[in-house]
């Protein structure tokens, strides 16, 4: 069976397709990376669903997306003769859907699975224990709520702090952006809970549009970084299918530079899938508006990509400014450190930093390159030097 989510199962909920592609793409790379030397990979999904599934066997839900790719990658590693990697998975779902989920997962007889019907915040201690079991345990937490409650920063901190662990949080920017400045005390308290502190709302005052959205997400990332003791917390944007705005940001926390590099590489690889899905959704919307009279696929493709291009240009400019700032005349910096700084921005991958360095031409020297090589490589000890003016 193919590991990839099938587009036809996501009509009308295209964002879930993008989310599942990102989850699948990243878990594949993560399992390959941490599983190379043999580990116990403990996967924890705190808001498991099933949610708006369009299949009877629930294959289009995140638990199945995750288990398919975890199992396939584990088996690939075994075929390569690598030391044994074990997969364990814990799912939390508060609704009665937990029963159907449990039944649907019975087919994974070679993976230890635990399905709990409960509120995620009630089972954090169980999750922490689950995350730390096994030989050289590594944990990955997926937090995919419907809104902004149920994963308060203080409540989830013990799980964030599991030392060999990463996390992916679906930060529902669209609704958070709408409600975050509410004067209603009761609602404001829910945001205090989300950010883990009462002074969460200052950095976006006076901002609007993308600047405001970015300030809100950045604030959440910095709180998550602090609470979890992560080295990097960054986000990737999932757009609404038929509109030019973010539906949510997937916020990723890791203690590894390599993790960040791989996350951005996967983001780059899944973008065309997201774009194609948006184009199809837009074409369907325009066809409907024309009373089903006209086909719009080419126009929709261009329309979907125009906003993506705008976002890409925005973050390329920001990453360029970061790189320029670090390469002042006389500067010396490891290639990895330069790339890591640039990759804090959404949509920026290692390759973009290489392109920027090549474009600098004489204004940069790269130490440690092999003869005739022009481009620095990750993990090769290359150092970037900006000559003195």
Give the footprint of ligand SAM on this chain (CB under 6 A): 16, 47-49, 51, 61-62, 92-95, 97, 119-120, 144-146, 150
DSSP 180: T
CB of 50 to ligand SAM, least distance (A): 7
Distance CA 93, CA 119 (A): 7
CB atoms within 10 A of CB 324: 13
CB of 265 to ligand SAM, least distance (A): 22
The continuous run of DSSP H or E covering 17 comes out as: helix 14-35
List the one residue out of 276, 300, 259 whose CA is nearest residue 18: 276
β-pairing verdict for 246-254 and 365-367: unpaired
Cis status of the peptide bond prior to 9, with omega within 30 of 0:
no
CB of 128 to ligand SAM, least distance (A): 16
Nearer to ligand SAM, 43 or 47 (CB): 47
Nearest residue to ligand SAM on Cβ basis = 150
Q: What are phi and psi of 134, to 5 degrees?
A: 105, 175
CB of 60 to ligand SAM, least distance (A): 7
Give the three-state DSSP class for 139. Answer: strand
Nearer to ligand SAM, 18 or 338 (CB): 18
Nearer to ligand SAM, 77 or 241 (CB): 241
Nearer to ligand SAM, 87 or 260 (CB): 87
Distance CA 299, CA 308 (A): 15
Structure-token pair, residue 181: 């400045």
Residue carrying the six token digits 């690939």: 76
CB atoms within 10 A of CB 132: 16
CB of 48 to ligand SAM, least distance (A): 6
How far is C-alpha 161 from the chain's CA centre? 18
CB of 52 to ligand SAM, least distance (A): 8
Nearer to ligand SAM, 44 or 216 (CB): 44
Helical axes 297-326 vs 257-289, angle rounded to 10°: 150
Nearer to ligand SAM, 105 or 327 (CB): 105
Distance CA 126, CA 290 (A): 53
CB of 2 to ligand SAM, least distance (A): 18
Structure-token pair, residue 8: 């036809």
Nearer to ligand SAM, 16 or 216 (CB): 16
């Amino acid at each position: 069976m193919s590991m990839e989510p099938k587009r036809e199962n996501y009509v009308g909920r295209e964002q879930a397709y993008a989310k599942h592609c990102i989850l699948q793409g990243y878990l594949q790379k993560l399992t390959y990376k941490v599983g190379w030397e043999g580990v116990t990979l403990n996967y924890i999904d705190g808001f498991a669903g099933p949610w708006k599934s369009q299949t009877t066997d629930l294959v289009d839900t995140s638990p199945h997306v995750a288990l398919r790719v975890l199992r396939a990658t584990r088996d690939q590693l075994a075929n390569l003769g690598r030391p044994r990697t074990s997969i364990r998975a814990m799912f939390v779902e508060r609704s009665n859907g937990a029963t159907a989920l449990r039944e649907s997962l019975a087919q994974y007889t070679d993976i230890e699975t635990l399905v709990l019907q409960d509120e995620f915040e009630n089972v954090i201690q169980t999750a922490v224990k689950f995350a730390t079991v096994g030989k050289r345990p590594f944990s990955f937490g997926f937090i995919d709520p419907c809104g902004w409650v149920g994963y308060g920063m203080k409540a989830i901190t013990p799980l964030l702090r599991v030392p060999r662990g990463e996390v992916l949080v679906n930060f529902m920017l669209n609704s958070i952006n709408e409600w975050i400045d509410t004067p209603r005390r009761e609602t404001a308290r829910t945001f205090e809970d989300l950010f883990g502190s009462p002074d969460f709302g200052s950095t976006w005052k006076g901002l609007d549009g993308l600047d405001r959205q970015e300030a809100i997400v950045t604030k959440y990332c910095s709180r998550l970084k602090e609470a979890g003791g992560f080295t990097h917390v960054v986000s990737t944007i999932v757009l609404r299918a038929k509109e030019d705005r973010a539906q949510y940001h997937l916020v990723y926390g890791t203690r590894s530079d390599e993790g960040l590099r791989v996350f951005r590489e996967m983001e780059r690889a899944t973008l065309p899938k997201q774009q194609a899905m948006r184009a199809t959704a837009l074409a369907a919307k325009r066809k409907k508006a024309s009373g089903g009279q006209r086909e719009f696929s080419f126009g929709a493709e261009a329309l979907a990509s125009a906003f993506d291009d705008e976002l890409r240009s925005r973050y390329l400019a920001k990453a360029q400014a970061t790189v320029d700032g670090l390469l002042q005349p006389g500067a010396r910096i490891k290639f990895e450190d330069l790339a890591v700084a640039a990759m804090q921005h959404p949509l920026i991958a290692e390759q973009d930093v290489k392109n920027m360095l090549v474009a600098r031409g004489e204004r940069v020297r790269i130490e440690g390159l092999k003869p005739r090589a022009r481009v620095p490589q990750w993990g090769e000890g290359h150092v970037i030097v900006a000559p003195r003016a």
